[in-house]
Structure 1
């Protein structure tokens, strides 16, 4: 062991000030190379890749939570002797980044088309190099122990080579194809969107019921459909009903007239239709609705595109040139004029998709795009979890994973952008199509041109577990750290990112899963449990918390609320509590050091130690084992609570107070206590380091003289059998002291005031050795010759009953105390009467909200309890 003495406390200021030391400590860790992984090491590997944040991004609470958990896991593994690689990176964020630069250009009165593609991409790279990646510096402020020497960017040379390689392999294996399909289209960004780039909200609109066929209900050839997008009827090519719906069997196979157009469209039977919803008949617009597209495919219906990429009506007629939201009321008005409107419901609240980047309402649109054929890839991804190669934590979320991978649609991977990995496909004369790999020559000559689209950002992100390690080259990093041992990410991107990494990892790496374990955490919500959003004004900025409370308090607050797979609500009060915990740890360790706590001396044999020493050592062993078990199950909230309560309640509030008495004895007893203090604080600082690295580093290096907690060994339980008898006796002291403190408070004695007392039964209860500590903790002093037993209580313990008599003469002004208690009693009786009056009034109990009635009942119970307490106190006062 390394040693220390009380003289080293000069290194510790009186208070913990995070802002003065965090940046310096972090840079020292980086400069020392603690976070740099060695692929030649013979240690067992442990690799995590960071879910790459957008290059445009800034640290939000979701990032802060995720990074707090990942850092805790990697720091612990490093202390356990693993070769740890926590690999950082950023995503090029196609749409988001292009929008940022386009806004800059707009401020200059230009568009990307004024620059041209090549110059625009150069401008984006310039922005990335000058302004992008702010989040990386914010990760440093959080204390992220990542390997900065391996930082990756999804558009860098190595990752771009990986993208081009896997695209060509998938293309040649027939797993990438080009086809017309319905996709999410943003009329403002002019690109297809992935599902994760579409945010749904409940918007007000109108539901319009329209009669097709005969203009009224007198004929047999009419049918009513309902829609929230009346303008799309211009592209209808059928009406669909359920094949078993008796109401419409006579119409199936016939045609009805489509209003406003004069076209005749068929009535088809399709099991997709829900006969119990609405009229049981639905309009079919194959070019503008994904479900309608499927119906159209099954019935060989034409798909008529009636809007352009700006969502402007292109269908010939009076609505041509109108924006979709202008066309909607115009179409309804024209139908109303023909008597075709059967019913109108407004406002009608329904789910509407919006582009997450610009807020524009997304338009389903038939478009020629590139797709990944996911069926064989998704099956492999499902099998890897089913056969145990990859384990999902918590296990109940595996069902959600299977629901997605077992029912996945082909993935649209093309985006109509300029920033991103360009589709490596070239078109030439005579309809030639060539997919170009990273080592292939690009076709040249007249008539050859490259596909203008770029790949979905998630395509390159899906390669992250292996592309960041050098694939397709067989690098030492790839051999050493693939599969990744763990992925930590939010359950909300289980489908969008996790499933796709599984698909591509298994495909590219010959069936080897990208990670052995997937830990899914929940979302961070506001104190009321609501989702944070700028529109609600309830966003909590982690950078503000870092400034005000420090990184340790921010991290501990988030980890303490993290139950696997569950959302968590956070508040400023929690962060303040975590800061107070750091201060408590600082003050307690500083106190121990000032009193000579040391790791230079081995803890003496247990049979030479006091009950208090054996008790705290046993609790230390227990918390080591408990924390280990909880880490392996990713139970962060529980392990944080275990460490919090052990440190604050058992170590600081009890053992330090018991140790003061032992230190005061001097000699061997004091030396033993200093060794126990040093050992316990050494262990607790090691246990807490992954969660709160800065304050623990400063305290531990001072306590032990060691180089750094980052590379210190993770603690292990001693293996000693727990001393149940010692624990029982210390528990007896705790109960007795707690009861005496409560009794003193009831008697009006100030907390710090010493009171003469006489105790009987201490020896019988087996607590004689702990009597001095008990007296110190309860602020009792020996009875004098003039002792008067003015108040007494009995405390039943396992070994017998202890009687405590207190001499309150000179400690309490009995007359003043009686006057105060009488006033409190009157107020409690008045409160009770008021509550009884309300609860006895049927007009109140029958009409008031249930929560209001419950609140009054709670107040009544509190008032009744106060009356009992005060009355009992008055009865036991001297002179009663």
Structure 2
């Protein structure tokens, strides 16, 4: 058969992904099997594949593919999120390029453009995931604004309103002036920025002309909204101000001096300007002291007429102009450079403005308590467990959730208002009229209007684990749901990022318990952040984030998947280096070359082999009726069979602990070191000779088992080689093959071979150190109480170390000696070494070891150390002493033999 010299990832990826799709291997329907369910964290429809998506979805695919092979009915539900703020910003930008302003459109016209944009661009990221090999059930693809999912959001809103958990109120919110909408605390990114601290002088009302109070502020543009000055009642510096008033600069308005221990006496000047409309803490102070609220900002961040100065100016332009006006008025004492934390909108990167606004909220305490209990009791496991403390802190300090957004793209709030501002909650205008009538108001359709706002995007995605299967049950917790929901819910694993632990994961748990009475998933695997090798978070702005498509094109999807997972322990950041992808590609090539080697051997007794009767082919064929130990390569086969089973147990344990990076490395070493470097070398026939059928069959079987454990990580090359190894039926694909079964294995076989491999390694090291060609056959004498071990493995030792037949001795003999565990070996190097140089080398090594031994014995001779150190530390020092003494003894014998 013709075997390509190199593996072509592109050809294999296109061929096998199409084949898997064609044969419907990704699709799941309820049946008698146990389900395994993952719902994808829905990426934004505005998104394109980045490194974080690559990591997250590779992990999900590994889990799903392994579950499928283990016999579960695996269902991975894909979908996208409508991302209200981000998508609306994209659509507004698109319209601007066409010369169209959102303000010139009706709501329906704008929504039509938004759907047009979504249909054109909204599925890009899911198509990109296919290139990565994601085995999602594409027939179950969902979108958070699918009609039935949107209806479920409205049902949920109404259900929670009827329970008293949704309410409308005037509260301080985070305002995005660019998006012109409220955003949640979790959508605010805090960054340290360089600012300036302005020291502003307020004149004391009725006081002497030079009687001032100095306030330090980073926001002089808000002083026109000041309604009080606050000092600590215990601060002796300001006792003369108690009960007095001061004059706000520029607007000459008198405001009171209030007393509150909230003010820290050692911070700033010890005086605090109180601006209830533009600071959440000031707002609380204002409520406590009954202060007036003056809102001087428009929704776009410009100053309104209440500011009296700089009307219509942007807030940051106004900052500079107000500072200039204060300076000209003699009210600006000084300006200092200052660093502080400033909030930025996650979606638009605009500086967040605290703003008093009439919004819709969800009372969270009643929902959060059961969700906290679910994690505390272990109904939901957070992996790694260190995030449980963070989760607990958030849930114990939960605040009400502002769910209204001043946007058009999204699910519209089902509140209907009359001309007097009264409202009812209803799904349709007709239902709203009925509810108004029940309250005694007979109205016409033209006399009511629906709330202009939409709900927060997270208010739809917190329903995701339920709504993807049966959205009709939301708002109706008594319903059992359809067969899909009953079968697939709750899911098994969720893979997501720690930064959305609270505002998505926690809320999904709340929704699951509220609407289904059961948590939505059992395990939450929290990935780390993908960073560059300098530790910086990857981003387009830094230019340190590689293009995933280019990586796949260069290294193949399998190479990139492996590169992503090689250093990504759960919950810890991944320091990504492109060299990992190169290592992944090299591993794929190693597997391919191992396959070429195995399939390239001529098999004795098979058609095309021209050997004579009675050769290895006859022996191999007859070997089926012989004991395993009589078969050619019996020891190698027995060892690797045990080695595979032992490592399979380790891999299973690592998977159970979600240590996927370590599981991958265990597989990597099993293939590269144990199979390729040792086993194949043990069984490889001499040049021009055939391999016996029994060894060939065993080796093919081992290779198939290895392909199976590699498959979840590297699906394409494993499927390609699965079909190259043998003729397969149409549906006989590795993607649906059975995961290797855990079987008992021979621990003695492992331990014996471990000792044999250590011996071979020592002999190879001697050759390297002495620069002795492998072609030179070396004599080896063995001094051991376990001759049978070496007799059983003599052929392997002779083959891999090129030695003469073993000589077993009772006493030391001349030659270079070394130890493997308690057994001693002697190699007569004869004329193959420079004796004087070797004596000099041994003398130097002896001097070092003797000095090391003296230091260890000095430590062990110190009674305080022995009495106070931990037992394991003392034992470790004693082991060092014994090892050094044994090495010194062996070196002394080597030196004596050279003398």
TM-score in terms of structure 1 length:
0.84
TM-score in terms of structure 2 length:
0.83
| 2-structure distance, mates of 1:438, 1:67 | 39
Specify which of 745, 765, 768 is matched with residue 745 of structure 1.
Answer: 768
Specify which of 694, 712, 718 is matched with residue 737 of structure 2.
Answer: 712
| 2-structure distance, mates of 1:437, 1:115 | 25
Contact 2:39 2:465 (C-alpha < 8 Å) held by counterparts: yes
Alignment match, 1:320: 311
Stretch deviating more after TM superposition (223-232 or 267-276): 267-276
Specify which of 752, 758, 776 is matched with residue 755 of structure 1.
Answer: 776
Instruction: Give 1:394-413 correspondences, 5 Å limit.
Output: 394-413=384-403
Specify which of 641, 651, 663 is matched with residue 627 of structure 1.
Answer: 651
Instruction: Give 1:111-126 correspondences, 5 Å limit.
Output: 111-126=101-116
* Structure 2 residue 355 is the aligned partner of structure 1 residue 391: no
| 1-structure distance, mates of 2:626, 2:536 | 53
Instruction: Give 1:143-542 correspondences, 5 Å limit.
Output: 143-214=133-204, 223-242=213-232, 244-248=234-238, 251=241, 254-314=244-304, 315-346=306-337, 348-437=338-427, 441=431, 443=433, 445-473=445-473, 474-509=481-516, 511-542=517-548
Shift in Å at residue 587 of structure 1?
Answer: 1.4
Greater RCO, 1 or 2 (C-alpha within 8 Å, sep 6+): 1
Shift in Å at residue 372 of structure 1?
Answer: 1.5
| 2-structure distance, mates of 1:403, 1:251 | 40
187 and 715 in structure 1: CA distance in 2 versus 1, 3 angstrom threshold:
same
Contact 1:313 1:321 (C-alpha < 8 Å) held by counterparts: yes
227 and 197 in structure 1: CA distance in 2 versus 1, 3 angstrom threshold:
same
Specify which of 42, 58, 76 is matched with residue 86 of structure 1.
Answer: 76
Contact 2:645 2:743 (C-alpha < 8 Å) held by counterparts: yes
217 and 390 in structure 1: CA distance in 2 versus 1, 3 angstrom threshold:
farther
| 1-structure distance, mates of 2:36, 2:288 | 50
Stretch deviating more after TM superposition (53-62 or 205-214): 205-214
Contact 1:390 1:517 (C-alpha < 8 Å) held by counterparts: yes
Stretch deviating more after TM superposition (517-526 or 257-266): 257-266
Alignment match, 1:127: 117
| 2-structure distance, mates of 1:453, 1:477 | 33
Q: State the SS of the aligned residue for 2:495.
A: strand
Q: State the SS of the aligned residue for 1:369.
A: strand
| 2-structure distance, mates of 1:491, 1:236 | 39
* Structure 2 residue 49 is the aligned partner of structure 1 residue 59: yes
681 and 455 in structure 1: CA distance in 2 versus 1, 3 angstrom threshold:
same
793 and 217 in structure 1: CA distance in 2 versus 1, 3 angstrom threshold:
farther
Alignment match, 1:674: 696
Alignment match, 1:645: 669
503 and 225 in structure 1: CA distance in 2 versus 1, 3 angstrom threshold:
farther
Stretch deviating more after TM superposition (589-598 or 295-304): 589-598
* Structure 2 residue 758 is the aligned partner of structure 1 residue 735: yes
Q: For residues 364-392 of structure 1, what are the alpha-carbon distances to aligned partners after superposition, in whole Å with 9 as ceiling and x for unaligned?
A: 22222222121211222212212222121
Contact 2:166 2:362 (C-alpha < 8 Å) held by counterparts: yes
Any stretches of 5+ residues in structure 1 without a counterpart?
1-8, 784-790, 826-871
Alignment match, 1:693: 715
Any stretches of 5+ residues in structure 2 without a counterpart?
434-443, 474-480, 607-620, 807-813, 845-890
Contact 1:176 1:370 (C-alpha < 8 Å) held by counterparts: yes
Contact 1:414 1:455 (C-alpha < 8 Å) held by counterparts: yes
Contact 1:215 1:340 (C-alpha < 8 Å) held by counterparts: no
Stretch deviating more after TM superposition (484-493 or 711-720): 711-720
Q: For residues 156-211 of structure 1, what are the alpha-carbon distances to aligned partners after superposition, in whole Å with 9 as ceiling and x for unaligned?
A: 11211111110111122222222222222222222222334433332221012223
Contact 1:762 1:768 (C-alpha < 8 Å) held by counterparts: no
* Structure 2 residue 774 is the aligned partner of structure 1 residue 768: no
Shift in Å at residue 55 of structure 1?
Answer: 0.8
| 1-structure distance, mates of 2:686, 2:791 | 14
Shift in Å at residue 146 of structure 1?
Answer: 0.7
Contact 1:285 1:293 (C-alpha < 8 Å) held by counterparts: yes
| 1-structure distance, mates of 2:690, 2:183 | 74
| 2-structure distance, mates of 1:35, 1:567 | 30
Contact 1:471 1:478 (C-alpha < 8 Å) held by counterparts: no
Q: For residues 657-708 of structure 1, what are the alpha-carbon distances to aligned partners after superposition, in whole Å with 9 as ceiling and x for unaligned?
A: 11225999978xx444334323322222111111111111122233355511
Shift in Å at residue 763 of structure 1?
Answer: 7.7
| 1-structure distance, mates of 2:44, 2:412 | 18
218 and 605 in structure 1: CA distance in 2 versus 1, 3 angstrom threshold:
farther
Q: For residues 768-800 of structure 1, what are the alpha-carbon distances to aligned partners after superposition, in whole Å with 9 as ceiling and x for unaligned?
A: 3333322332355789xxxxxxx9632212352
Shift in Å at residue 216 of structure 1?
Answer: 13
Q: State the SS of the aligned residue for 1:755.
A: coil
Q: State the SS of the aligned residue for 1:737.
A: helix
Contact 2:784 2:823 (C-alpha < 8 Å) held by counterparts: no
Shift in Å at residue 756 of structure 1?
Answer: 2.9
Alignment match, 1:867: none
131 and 603 in structure 1: CA distance in 2 versus 1, 3 angstrom threshold:
farther
Shift in Å at residue 608 of structure 1?
Answer: 5.7
| 2-structure distance, mates of 1:74, 1:605 | 41
Contact 1:221 1:256 (C-alpha < 8 Å) held by counterparts: no
RMSD: 3.3
Alignment match, 1:869: none
Contact 2:231 2:238 (C-alpha < 8 Å) held by counterparts: yes
| 1-structure distance, mates of 2:762, 2:238 | 80
Alignment match, 2:6: 15
Stretch deviating more after TM superposition (354-363 or 518-527): 354-363
Q: For residues 221-278 of structure 1, what are the alpha-carbon distances to aligned partners after superposition, in whole Å with 9 as ceiling and x for unaligned?
A: 7543321111112111223344554544664554333233322323334454334332
| 2-structure distance, mates of 1:803, 1:233 | 90
Q: For residues 844-866 of structure 1, what are the alpha-carbon distances to aligned partners after superposition, in whole Å with 9 as ceiling and x for unaligned?
A: xxxxxxxxxxxxxxxxxxxxxxx
| 2-structure distance, mates of 1:285, 1:793 | 87
